[in-house]
Structure 1
Amino acid sequence: MKQTDFYFRHNRREFLKDFSLALGVTSLGLPLVSFASGCQPKGEEKQEQSAQGTAQNKKLGIALVGLGSYATHQLAPALQETEHCYLAGIVTGTPSKAKEWKRKYKIPDKNIYTYDTYDQIADNPDIDIIYIVLPNGMHAEYTVRGAKAKKHIISEKPMATSAADCQRMLDACREHNVKLSIGYRLHFEPHNQRVMELGQQQVYGPVKEVEAADSFVFTGNPNAWRLDKKLAGGGPLMDLGIYCVQGAIYTLGQSPVAITAKFGQVTRPDYFDEVEQSISWEMEFPNGAVAKCRSSYNDNEGLLSGKAEKGWWKLDPAYSYSGIKGETSEGTMDLPQVNQQARQMDDFARCVKENKETRVPGEMGLRDVKILEAIYEAARTGKRVEVKV
């Protein structure tokens, strides 16, 4: 059977949705399978779209907090393609950006905020969701403030620079009864969803090994926030390696139990005097599988592969915004290219409208940051570190 036939046949029958709700959970109670066709039902609640009423048909307004490259070149264009949400507002500290975005996207003055006026967003009924697209070290503060404003939150990955800050974010969202999701766009991308199926359904038997690598050569400003320990939390591990952690987990449907790691050599000290230039690590999983991972700001890679008893698969590139390619021991993955960000934001908007749980919740972000902290500890100490998530 061709990969396209498999993908569309199972989408039509909502097989993936049913399967995702039936499979196992982590120690946090999180569904590890997330190749479902929609957001997760809350508890035993079942709601039909036809019974939602006019409120369910309303597009929800999203405000982007931080107008850097990702917001400008990915999120804003994606919001022109979404069905359940739209670009309603912006938060920026740069007047020239506010002027340009106002003109380009016809954003009214009352929906444009600075970081000083951010808290006033609580009084704006046009804005339902806040998407935090700031440097990693700022995610916690603006999530907590957004939750106090009674707005639902999407935080870009990594969720924060420490597990303690992740917990603060979760606590604030629970206290103010708003939903929190993490910007894990690849959970909505067909090739990565297929990897979830291959690994978790053991299509080729039990998975023995995962290999994951995500790297690029950093040639920008040596004073960029990504190289600032306080703002970034770390180097390529925080920025790119988190995709490798995620890829291994959603391939296996399990969280790692132990980690070994080592930092790579620093060959560009003018850039990497605060954060690592490169790092490699291995994650051990409960079923005996091992994930071999690496991430660097001085290389170019984007791999996610798996080896099982009776077959293999590989995505390369695996994590890019477009052009993802895959193959298996049976042939090429013939799957569609999609707007990952549009799917991600639409899915969260549906979860908000239908009062359902997102497949990429804050608890998942906390789990991953705990794993990143364990990787750094293993690299610093040279010891095998057990993971407690």
Structure 2
Amino acid sequence: MQTRRDFLQKLTSGAIALSLVARSASAHESEIKEERYDGPVLRVAIMGLGSYGTRVAEAMKTCTKAKLVGVISGHPAKITAWQAKYGIPEKNCYNYENYDRIKDNPDIDAVYVITPNALHHNAVIRVAMAKKHVICEKPMAVNAKEGQEMVDACQNAGVRLLVGYRMHFETHTLEIIRMRKAGEFGKVLFFQGLSGFTIGDPTQWRLNKALSGGGSLMDIGIYSINGSRYMIGEDPIWVTAQETKTNPVKFKEGVDETIQFQLGFPGGAVASCLSTYSMNNLDRFFLNGTQGFAELQPATGYGPIQGRTNKGELNQPIVTHQTVQMDEMAGILLEGHQPIVAVDGLEAVKDLKIIDAIYQATKSGERVELHL
């Protein structure tokens, strides 16, 4: 691992978000000052240079602990453009046929896999065999079986597998988790998660089951699945679900348009969630307890996240999610940091087991027991 001793960062609320979570959001500007980072830096190659890969690359410009140093793509023109834009050397550029050679490149520590869902499984296993750490976008795989195989491959190779759960580092989210852990909401009784939007281009990969593994649930619904777990603080023990499809031409067999699902938790709380590709104005989390409530809306978008509780508005620092995510993941991989909410492969397998159960419940019409 390398160290950048002369890398200066002007600390803004976004860049120091995680250190500010436990502090008052009303800190005076005078407390923000220039500091010098002198620790290890995670050198990352991004696989998949699409819109989200570009968002991550842009966010990494202001990282202190992570640096974009390589690319993997099947499009030579994109590689050339990224080389020029981000200063990536030729020796750190690979395509989908030859990226196993990263095993012999000491200048790359980790690969961030940002490809269509169905391609994650093979890519993560190949990167693991090349002895590099892996960060994989969510959902980590198209089902729990493939997800577990990815976890096993990384364990066997002696590398770490993290998943792009950016909300696990978001400041408003972490404040609600802190309050819930402190008992400020009393006994948690109910969670509602609304995740969805009206999807456009019918030819995109998200509407191709062979690439996406499903429909809205695999893309946007996973936010409510995962959110129910970190907001309530437990893993569910049963699920029921119902599917609605109004446009079978656009949403073909195996590509869900809208799914409503309900989760039961061991402490007695229940969750009611919606995942859809046919409605806007959603993106809302609501947590209710015997002594208070918390609401986020927007809850999982790129920002700014907004929230309130029974005690008033949340005014946590506004952060660039991917910047904080990559810095915090660097801390996990290089310094052994423990995140407040897990972001490893086993965390992702739990979500995949829930997704499998939701699809099963939509077909059977029966309650499905969960064993996470």
Q: Same fold (TM over 0.5)?
A: yes
The residue matched to 2:298 in structure 1 has which SS? coil
Partner of 1:198: 179
Give CA deviations for 1:180-234 in whole Å, capped at 9, x if unaligned.
10100001001111221233332121111100011010012x1211111121111
CA displacement at 1:10 relative to structure 2: 6.4
Taking the aligned partners of 2:95 and 2:222, their CA distance within structure 1 comes to 30
Matched to 2:257, the amino acid is Q
Compute the TM-score of the two structures, normalised by the length of structure 2.
0.88
Identity of aligned residues (%): 40
Aligned residues: 339
- Where structure 2 has 5 or more consecutive residues not aligned to the other structure, the ranges are 1-17, 25-36
Give me the whole-angstrom Cα distance separating, in 1, the residues matched to 2:180 and 2:336.
30
Once the two structures are superposed, residues 238-293 of structure 1 have per-residue CA deviations (whole angstroms, 9 ceiling, x without a partner) of: 111111011111111100000110001x2222210130111000000001111100
| Equivalent position amino acid for 1:58 in 2 | P
CA contact (8 A) 2:21 2:316 kept: no
Partner of residue 287, structure 1: 267
Partner of 1:318 in structure 2?
A: 299
Alignment of 1:261-272 (within 5 A): 261-264=241-244, 266-272=245-251
How many Å separate the matches in 2 of 1:97 and 1:9? 37
Q: Within 1, Cα distance between the matches of 2:167 and 2:371?
A: 24
2:148 is matched with 167
Call closer, same or farther: CA 1:217–1:9 in 2, change over 3 Å. Answer: closer
In the alignment, structure 1 residue 62 sits paired with structure 2 residue 44: yes
The 5 Å alignment of 1:169-188 reads: 169-188=150-169
C-alpha displacement of 1:321: 0.9
User: Is contact 2:196-2:220 (8 Å) kept?
Assistant: yes
Deviations 1:330-381 (A, max 9, x none): 2111111101111111111122212455631100001110011111111111
Q: In structure 2, what is the Cα distance between the partners aligned to 1:11 and 1:290?
A: 28
1:130 and 1:110 map into 2 onto residues whose CA distance is 15
| Aligned residue type for 2:169 | F
Cα distance between partner residues in 2 of 1:335 and 1:76:
25
- Distance in structure 1 (CA, Å) of the matches to 2:361 and 2:250: 23
Give the C-alpha shift of residue 382 in structure 1.
Answer: 0.4
CA distance in 1, matches of 2:20, 2:358: 40
Q: Which residue of 2 aligns with 1:23?
A: none
Letter in 2 for 1:268: N
Aligned equivalent of 1:210: 191
Deviations 1:283-307 (A, max 9, x none): 0000111110001000111000111
Structure 1: tracts of 5 or more residues without a match: 1-6, 14-53
Tell me: CA distance 1:326–1:230, structure 2 relative to 1, closer, same or farther (3 Å): same
**1:137–1:97: structure 2 CA closer, same or farther, 3 Å change rule?**
same
Question: Using the alignment, how far apart are the partners of 1:164 and 1:84 within structure 2?
Answer: 33
1:378 to 336, 361, 366: 361
The CA distance in 1 between the partners of 2:20 and 2:44, in whole Å, is: 33
Alignment partners' CA distance in 1, 2:327 and 2:318: 17
Aligned counterpart for 2:97 among listed residues 116, 131, 135:
116
Q: C-alpha offsets along residues 61-114 of structure 1, whole Å, 9 cap, x if unaligned?
A: 100000111011x20011101111100000000111111111111111111110
User: In the alignment, is residue 11 of structure 1 matched against residue 43 of structure 2?
Assistant: no
Note if 1:334 corresponds to 2:315: yes
The structure-2 alpha-carbon separation of the partners of 1:259 and 1:127, relative to structure 1 and needing over 3 Å to count, comes to same
Kindly indicate whether residue 330 of structure 2 is the aligned counterpart of residue 349 of structure 1. yes
Query: Is the Cα contact below 8 Å between 2:21 and 2:175 reproduced in 1?
Result: no
Q: Which residue of structure 2 lines up, in the alignment, with residue 71 of structure 1?
A: 53
Q: 1:211 to 1:258 in 2, by over 3 A?
A: same
Q: Is the 8 A contact 2:42 2:330 kept in 1?
A: yes
Alignment correspondent of 2:130: 149
1:157–1:184 contact (8 Å) kept in structure 2: yes
One-letter amino acid of the counterpart of residue 71, structure 1: G
In structure 2, do the counterparts of structure 1 residues 10 and 279 end up closer, same or farther at CA, with 3 Å as the change threshold?
closer
**Matched residue of 1:131: which SS?**
strand
Task: State whether structure 2 residue 215 is matched by structure 1 residue 235.
Answer: yes
Which letter maps to 1:369? L
Q: Which residue number in structure 2 is paired with residue 251 of structure 1?
A: 231
> Matches of 2:294 and 2:66 in 1, distance apart?
35
In structure 1, distance between residues paired with 2:293 and 2:336: 38
Structure 1 position 132 matched with structure 2 position 113:
yes
- Counterpart CA distance in 2 for 1:241 and 1:263 is 13
Paired AA for residue 297 in structure 2:
D
- CA distance, structure 1, for counterparts of residue 65 and residue 97 of structure 2: 29
Whole-Å Cα distance in 2 between the matches of residues 304 and 282 of structure 1? 14
* TM-score of the two chains, using structure 1 as the length reference: 0.84
SS at the partner of 1:59? strand
What residue number does 1:388 align with?
Answer: 371
Distance 1:173 1:8 in 2: 30
What RMSD, in angstroms, separates the aligned Cα atoms of the two structures?
A: 1.7
Q: Which residue of 2 aligns with 1:51?
A: none
Counterpart for residue 277 of structure 2 = 297
Q: Is the 8 A contact 2:21 2:171 kept in 1?
A: no
The letter for the 2-side match of 1:223 is T
